[in-house]
């Protein structure tokens, strides 16, 4: 399957539109079905104990609930942390913000295009930058730029994306059976076609000799990628 990047409906809808709210609920269920929370927490847990600043950034964070569930898992290793949620739309509720406060973590919501935000200077690199169901929105040249900016702003980058495979495509075409709305059904198929396979993300990562890269399919529908800096910037 060749990679095909097309617009997704959720990105066009205002954040409080009922179809968008419903689609973000569907995304929570899909993240559970895909096992992305377990996959990402597994990728981060071993290094989280030694993160010096406890700063974690999520690119394309959506309503922030995925990061909140990840934070609850990581809080066993990391008592205090600062989370930055970057998304083009502000869909984060007061309950989600309160969820971070309840585990003693602080949260900052940034409503911005991810490229604009990444181009701004940062006082210190983040300990970790994550992306969940987000990188597939971008073409190869856009991803190269995003990754280059990320290498200057984080020590570790981890992503869970749709695996571009026949089995994932078949699953994405059946989401009506589990009650997903039209927005989710459209975006899921588009997302799998724009997803990743093989070593596609590693091949775009810059300065590869300074980073340890891992890339693999995970469970039935996910493509996981981690880049960990092994030499000082």
Which residue, 48 or 131, has its beta carbon nearer to ligand SAM?
131
**Binding status of residue 13 toward ligand SAM by CB under 6 A:** no
Contact with ligand SAM (CB under 6 A) among 11, 12, 49, 152? 11
Q: Rounded to the nearest whole angstrom, what is the least distance from the CB of residue 30 to ligand SAM in the complex?
A: 8
- Applying the rule CB under 6 A, the residues between 16 and 55 that interact with ligand SAM are 27, 31
Q: Rounded to the nearest whole angstrom, what is the least distance from the CB of residue 10 to ligand SAM in the complex?
A: 6
Contact with ligand SAM (CB under 6 A) among 43, 56, 60, 81? 60
**Binding status of residue 133 toward ligand SAM by CB under 6 A:** yes
**Binding status of residue 137 toward ligand SAM by CB under 6 A:** yes
Q: What is the 3-state secondary structure (H, E, C) of the chain?
A: CCCCCCCCHHHHCCCCCHHHHHHHHHHHHHHHHHCHHHHHHHHHHHHHCCCCCCEEEEECCCCCHHHHHHHHHHCCCCCCCEEEEEECCCCCCHHHHHHHHHCCCEEEEEECCHHHHHHCCCCCCECEEEEECCHHHCCHHHHHHHHHHHHCCECEEEEEEEECCHHHHHHHCCHHHHCCCHHHHHHHHHHHHCCECCCHHHHHCCCHHHEEEEEEEECCCEEEEEEEECCCC
**Binding status of residue 211 toward ligand SAM by CB under 6 A:** no
**Binding status of residue 157 toward ligand SAM by CB under 6 A:** no
- Applying the rule CB under 6 A, the residues between 65 and 104 that interact with ligand SAM are 66, 87-89
Query: Where on the chain is the footprint of ligand SAM (CB under 6 A)?
Result: 10-11, 27, 31, 60-62, 66, 87-89, 113-114, 132-134, 137
């Amino acid at each position: 399957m060749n990679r095909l990047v097309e617009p997704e409906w959720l990105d066009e809808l205002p954040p409080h539109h009922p179809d968008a709210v419903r689609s973000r609920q569907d995304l929570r269920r899909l993240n559970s079905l895909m096992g992305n929370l377990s996959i990402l927490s597994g990728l981060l847990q071993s290094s989280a104990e030694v993160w010096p600043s406890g700063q974690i950034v999520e690119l394309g964070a959506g309503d922030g609930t995925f990061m909140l569930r990840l934070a609850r898992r990581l809080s066993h290793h990391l008592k205090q942390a600062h989370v930055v949620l970057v998304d083009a739309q502000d869909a984060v509720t007061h309950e989600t913000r309160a969820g971070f406060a309840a585990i003693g973590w602080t949260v900052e919501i940034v409503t911005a295009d991810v490229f604009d935000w990444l181009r701004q200077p940062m006082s210190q690199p983040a300990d970790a930058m994550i992306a969940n169901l987000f990188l597939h929105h971008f073409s190869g040249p856009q991803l190269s730029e995003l990754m280059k900016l990320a290498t200057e702003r984080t020590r570790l980058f981890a992503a869970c994306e749709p695996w571009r495979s026949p089995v994932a495509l078949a699953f994405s075409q059946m989401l009506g059976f589990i009650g997903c709305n039209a927005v989710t059904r459209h975006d899921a198929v588009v997302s799998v076609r724009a997803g990743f396979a093989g070593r596609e993300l590693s091949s775009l990562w810059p300065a590869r000799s300074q980073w340890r890269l891992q890339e693999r399919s995970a469970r039935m529908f996910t493509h996981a990628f981690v880049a960990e800096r092994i030499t000082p910037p």
